[in-house]
């Protein structure tokens, strides 16, 4: 199972993009117009330590996947306001890498877009990194964003969203953070997806991915209605 999760994974190649055309940066979860979501509460209550990988299913049951740390180390299920104090919405179900390694989510059925909020554990500025791969393990595109971690519990965690406008070709995503001290302890909330090609809600609201580097901070999260 670990081999499936690792997908013969190359190391996170944040600045190496095999193909950047046909992809869009999504600024908010509302812009994503998601069709399904992975709710992390399925992995157990707050404070549950988990062995990599864990099998997960999407809320609507249209997709399944494997999630965990890319080096096979343990991760954990935490709740904002209990085991995690940050700037997600209070009570939000999260997963954290426990400071061990970057994380990955492998989709059993390829998706057209994904989105989630992310926060570094240490208060202050941090960088977030995400890479998407096709079903052969080839990197499709990457993104680097800037955010700020607080303990305000006000839903202001950094949103990371990327869409494939040519079809549903995303099979794996890897993600991590780095704060000013170089630490990589982070958490993410539920991952929303579309099962078809991403369609921008209206022209001009999304930036086409060019260099793969874009700074977005303080985007307020809107929970997917299901």
Domain spans, the chain: 2-208
On average, the pLDDT of the chain sits at: 83
* Cα–Cα distance for residue pair 106/202, rounded to 1 Å: 29
| pLDDT(223) > 90 | no
Please check whether the domain covering 2-208 is classified as CATH 2.60.120. Answer: yes
pLDDT, tens only, 108-163: 999 999 999 999 999 999 999 999 999 999 999 999 999 999 999 999 999 999 99
pLDDT, tens only, 153-193: 999 999 999 999 999 999 999 999 997 666 699 999 999 99
Q: What is the mean pLDDT of residues 194-204?
A: 78
**Does residue 112 sit in helix, strand or coil?**
coil
pLDDT, tens only, 42-62: 999 999 999 999 999 999 999
pLDDT, tens only, 4-52: 343 333 333 333 333 456 899 999 999 999 999 999 999 999 999 999 9
| pLDDT(204) > 50 | no
- Residues 6 or more apart in contact with residue 88 via CB below 8 angstroms: 80, 94, 117, 119, 153, 155, 157, 187, 189, 221
* Cα–Cα distance for residue pair 32/202, rounded to 1 Å: 11
């Amino acid at each position: 199972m670990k081999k499936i999760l690792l997908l013969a994974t190359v190391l996170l190649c944040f600045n190496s993009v095999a193909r950047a055309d046909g992809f869009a940066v999504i600024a908010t979860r509302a812009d994503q117009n998601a069709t399904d979501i992975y709710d992390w509460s399925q992995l157990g209550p707050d404070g549950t330590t988990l062995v990599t990988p864990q099998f997960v299913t999407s809320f609507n049951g249209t997709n399944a996947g494997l999630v965990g740390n890319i080096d096979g180390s343990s991760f954990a299920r935490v709740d904002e306001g209990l085991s995690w104090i940050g700037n997600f919405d209070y009570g939000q179900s999260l997963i954290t890498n426990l400071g061990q390694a970057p994380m990955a989510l492998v989709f059993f059925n390829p998706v057209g877009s994904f989105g989630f909020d992310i926060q570094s554990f240490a208060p202050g500025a941090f960088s977030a990194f995400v890479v998407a791969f096709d079903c052969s393990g080839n990197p499709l595109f990457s993104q680097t964003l800037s955010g700020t971690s607080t303990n305000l519990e006000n839903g202001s965690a950094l949103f990371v969203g990327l869409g494939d406008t040519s079809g549903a070709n995303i099979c794996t995503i890897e993600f991590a953070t780095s704060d000013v001290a170089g630490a990589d302890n982070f958490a993410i909330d539920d991952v929303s997806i579309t099962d078809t090609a991403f369609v921008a809600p209206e022209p001009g609201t999304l930036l086409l991915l060019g260099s793969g580097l874009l700074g977005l901070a303080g985007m307020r999260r809107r929970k997917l209605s299901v």
